[in-house]
Structure 1
C-alpha cells in the first residue's frame, strides 16, 4: 500500500483481520500500521483512538454481512431461493476467515456486545421471516431460524478450528461442496 493512501476502510479491514486472528487484543495500532506498511500517524487522521477503530470495524462488519446482505436477498421473490442463496453465501467462503467465531468469543466486550446483539437479532428475524414465508407458523419459523443460525455459527467454528479433521466444512473441494449442499438441503427442507 502506498504511503499516504491508506483509507479508513483499510484500517477497519486490517482491524477485522486482526480480530479474526487473535481477538480484540490483536487490534494493536502499531501492529496494524506495520501490516499496512505505514506509520502510526496515519491512524489519527481517521480515528480518535483504538476504541473508535474497533467500533468502526464491527460496524463495517455489521453493514456488509447483515444489512447489505439482507438487502441483496430481498430482491429475490421466491422464499426458498432467498433461503438457499442466503445459506449458500453465509456458509460459503468468508470475507475475513474466522471473524464470526472471534466476534462471538468476545460477546461480552463493551464494543463488540451491542453490535453482535443487533446482528444476531436482525439475522434471526430475517430467517424467521423467510421460514414464515415458506409456510411455517411464526413460532415454528422462529425456532427454525434459531436452528439455522446455530448451524451457521457451528459451521464457522468448525471451519476455523477443525477443517482438516472435518473436510465437509472446507470452502473448497468435493467434500466441502457436498457437505455444504447437504446442510443447506437440511435447513431448507421445511415444506
Structure 2
C-alpha cells in the first residue's frame, strides 16, 4: 500500500490478514504499520490500543462474512437456493485465505471468543431456519445445520492445511469445482 491516508478499515483488514497468517500474536502494530507503509502514529488516530484493533477486526469480519451475507441471501425466495448460494459463497474462494481456521484456533482469546460465538450461533441458527423451510422438523434441521457448519469448517481447514494433499478443496480448476458442487449438493439435498 502506498503512503497516504490509511483508514480504520485498512488497519482492520491488515489485522485480519496478519491473524490469518500467524494468529493473534501476528497482529503487531509495528508489523502492520510496515505492511501499510506508514508510521505507527496513524494507528492511534483509529484505535486506543492493540486489543481495540483486534476487537474491531473480528467484528468487521463478523459483519462482512456473516451479517452481510445473510442480508444478501434474504433476497432469494427459495430456501434451497439460499442454501446453495450461501454455501457457494462460504465454501468458494476465500477473501482472506486461512482466516476462519485461524479464528477458530484462537477461540479462547478474549477478543475473538465473543465474536466467534455470536458468528457460530447466528450461522447455525440461520442454516437451521433454512432447513426448516425445506420441510425438516426443527430438531432435524438443527442437526443438519450443525453437520453443514462442521463440513464448512473442515473444508476451510483442509484448504489451509492440506490443499496440496487434497487439491479438491481448491476453488479453482475442474476438480475443485466438481468437489465443491458435490459438497453443496450433499448439504442442500435434504428430505
Provide TM-score, normalisation by structure 2: 0.99
1:141 aligns with 2:141: yes
Give distance in 1, aligned partners of 2:94 and 2:124: 19
Partner deviation per Cα, 1:20-59 (whole Å, 9 max, x = no partner): 0000000000000000000110000100000000010000
Cα drift, residue 143 of structure 1: 0.1
The 5 A counterparts of 1:88-127 are 88-127=88-127
SS at match of 1:135: coil
**1:30 aligned residue:** 30
Tell me if the contact between 1:4 and 1:42 (Cα under 8 Å) persists in the aligned partners.
Answer: no
Cα drift, residue 73 of structure 1: 0.3
**1:76 aligned residue:** 76
Cα drift, residue 4 of structure 1: 3.5
SS at match of 2:80: helix
Partner deviation per Cα, 1:147-181 (whole Å, 9 max, x = no partner): 00000000000000111110110111111001100
Give distance in 2, aligned partners of 1:116 and 1:7: 24
Provide TM-score, normalisation by structure 1: 0.99
Displaced runs of 4 or more, over 3 A: none
Cα drift, residue 3 of structure 1: 2.8
The 5 A counterparts of 1:9-48 are 9-48=9-48
Tell me if the contact between 2:98 and 2:157 (Cα under 8 Å) persists in the aligned partners.
Answer: yes
SS at match of 1:35: helix
Give distance in 1, aligned partners of 2:171 and 2:177: 7
1:179 aligns with 2:179: yes
Give distance in 2, aligned partners of 1:117 and 1:76: 26
Report how many aligned residue pairs link the two structures: 191
